[in-house]
Structure 1
Amino acid sequence: MGDILDTIYSRRSVREYRQEDIPDEIMKDIIKAGTYAPSSMNRQPWRFVIIKNRELIKRLSDIAKKAWLEKVANNNNDPGIASLARMASSPTFNIFYDAPVLVLIFSSPDAYRPEVDCALAAENMMLAARSYGIGSCWIGLGMPIGSDSQVMKELGIPEGHTLMAPVIFGYPGNDEQYTPPRKEDVILKIIK
């Protein structure tokens, strides 16, 4: 159990990456790990788009930032949203942190619980990446690209598929990953 627990306990959301590429075979292994996640009624609804083109990743970042800023324009009372808006307003800020790989996880139209199924696939992928020494981060700010019909057409996404998770991957730029403390009092009750 030590290896899997070490991988789980050491996984971090990485936001600084080296520019070296991840070999395609390793990315295929990471995707395969995602397909081994459980899914509601075993529908296995996940579909993946792997993007390694850095110009496209940057353009998708710009599209997502613009859409996200328009959506939250009137919600500046929340300090967290205001902080994110300041970051996203910077023309040089890339929401995908200049990672060399962006994986967009879509759900097929016949999914029973797509949010859960695709989140489980994403977590499997992030753990598999960690086992290779590769960092990852789920980028919630990237969700607006799933509502952009031009982007969906450009990426060749079939009708009815829904973006569930934009996840970035790359070799961490900082080898010293800080492990924030975890809350210990999380068990409400043990019923025997």
Structure 2
Amino acid sequence: MTDNIKNIEENISNAVLDNIYQRRSVRNFSDKGISDEIVKEIIRAGTYAPTAVNKQPWRFVVIKNKQLIEEYDDRAKKAFLAAYKDTENPDLAKFVQFLSKPSTRIFYSAPVLILVFASPDVINEHDCALAAENMMLAAQSLGIGSCWIGLAEGLGYDIEFLKEVGVPEGHKLIAPLIFGYPTKQNLKAPARNADVILKWIN
């Protein structure tokens, strides 16, 4: 079955598949800004994700102010360190060490930060993750890089931050996303493990 997957990769191609396979997590951005029109189009693509009983639970906060993005970068780092400073998990400990460096920027000086929240009446929070993936794929198709910044999840528990960015009570931060034009184009994805099917039943 692994060989069959490889054969499919070699023989099937279209614009949608190419876009998926070319998407990479980008952490180096040029100084070029993204227009409001394009940001709105990326969000629109997010709203076309699948959604349980058509709840459309996604809500978005868009931040393009560079100074604020830097400030929230620091606050996200502090929140993560406060939550995991005493962790015994070796992987988390590496992140603690990484974030303890003053020079570390988890938003990588990206020109746009979009926070995807789930509304209080959400049935399935995965809907918002699907919206985030749509947004990253839409960005890729427009020549824009993106990255899901899981290290910023602590902002979702920062009550003062939520008030500052106008998020009503009961909303949950699902996906902190950064967007910008990459400094390098045509980045190659690491090799994917083709042996991922647990069972194939005909």
TM-score normalized by the length of structure 1: 0.96
Q: What is the match of residue 51 of structure 1?
A: 63
Which 4+ stretches in 1 moved above 3 angstroms?
none
1:148 to 140, 152, 158: 158
Counterpart in the other structure of 1:107: 118
Q: After superposition, what is the alpha-carbon deviation per residue over 1:87-143, rounded to whole angstroms, capped at 9, x for unaligned?
A: 2111121110110000000111000011x0110000000000000010000000111
Amino acid at match of 2:153: M
Structure 2: segments with no counterpart, 5+ residues: 1-12
Unaligned runs of 5+ in 1: none
Residue matched to 2:83? 71
Contact map agreement 2:62 2:114 (CA 8 A) in 1: yes
Question: Could you tell me which residue of structure 2 aligns to residue 188 of structure 1?
Answer: 198
**1:99-138 → structure 2 map (5 Å cutoff):** 99-114=110-125, 116-138=126-148
Let me know the Cα RMSD of the aligned residues. 1.1
**Does 1:158 pair with 2:158?**
no
3-state secondary structure, aligned to 1:102: strand
Superposed CA offset, 1:21-48 (max 9, x none): 0111111110000000001111000000
Match of 2:176, SS state, is strand
- Deviation track 1:62-96 (CA, whole Å, cap 9, x = no partner) reads 11111100111111x33322221122111121110
Residue 45 of structure 2 corresponds to 33
Contact 2:61 2:116 in 1 (8 A): yes
In the alignment, the residues of structure 2 paired with residue 125 and residue 172 of structure 1 have an alpha-carbon distance, to the nearest angstrom, of 16
Secondary structure at 1:158 match in 2: coil
Percent pairwise identity:
55
